Homo-oligomer: A and B are copies of this chain.
């Protein structure tokens, strides 16, 4: 067993998926789960996700070789203050948060010299939340980004890298600042504009909600998926990656204004050129194994297969 005891704080989609993946891949002798929501604790117990489920973070981290924070990033500061004094000497503290510079900032002041802070981010998830929503295969084939602070112990980072590989992930290292810039475009901005268009659709007078729903197959329904993601988690992401998100949003809006102008002034060639170029990137994502090669996300798959 690579680890004797692993403790996961937060038994939501990601935390509970890690618990399942640890069990399936036999990565720890003892698994402890912690959640401040009593319902989540009950569910996690019923699903037998861990050897021990507790709502007390201090009880949870006792004796753990690896502690994984899987709560909204806004909770890390208070959590770090609480648990760091009780961590076992030599333990690794990591997390799964979607932002990284702010995580370093909020956890570093509480870290002990005899423990190791190595923030991480498995780029995986679904729009669903809670312990029931998790599954062991969530990380298979997906990338996990580690952002070890400068001067951290390479042996410990290697251990954490092996942990994620054991769960099926591919692992990359980068600085927290670069992570936050990359994820601003590949994850945070997509969520922001998805939330925004769904919000815009809700407020129309000319088009009823029932019409939005009926005719959502025209494209809108795609956006409702990520706009159904956990609100607390995403509030914290935007508040904790403000600079990079605002930077990407500025570029997006600039490009959108140019596109708006092209529509207004009938610049068909410019529209065609953009639409033709964007087409190719999906193919590359499929070739990189980050998307399935099947039309319409495989919706109505049964019907596709029945037809010639």
- Chain A interface (Cβ < 8 Å from any Cβ of B): 20, 24, 47, 98, 123-128, 133, 135-138, 140, 142-143, 145, 172, 178, 181-183, 185-204, 206-207, 209, 211-229, 231-232, 234-235, 238-239, 242, 245-246, 248-249, 251-253, 255-257, 259-260, 263-264, 266, 268, 271-272, 274-279, 281-285, 288, 290-292, 295-301, 303-304, 306-308
Flag if B196 contacts A259 (CB, 8 Å). yes
Flag if B216 contacts A291 (CB, 8 Å). yes
Quickly give the copy total for this chain: 2
Judged by DSSP, the binding face of A is helix
- A296 to B142 alpha-carbon distance, docked (Å): 14
Q: Looking at the complex, which one of B135, B256, B307 makes contact with A253 (CB distance below 8 Å)?
A: B256
Answer whether A137 and B300 are a contact pair too, CB < 8 Å, given A123-B215, A143-B215, A196-B256: yes
Flag if B185 contacts A189 (CB, 8 Å). no
Q: Which residue of B lies closest to A260 (CB)?
A: B249
- A278 to B276 alpha-carbon distance, docked (Å): 31
Closest 7 CB pairs of A and B: A187-B218, A137-B303, A231-B275, A190-B219, A297-B297, A198-B278, A224-B282
Flag if B212 contacts A185 (CB, 8 Å). yes
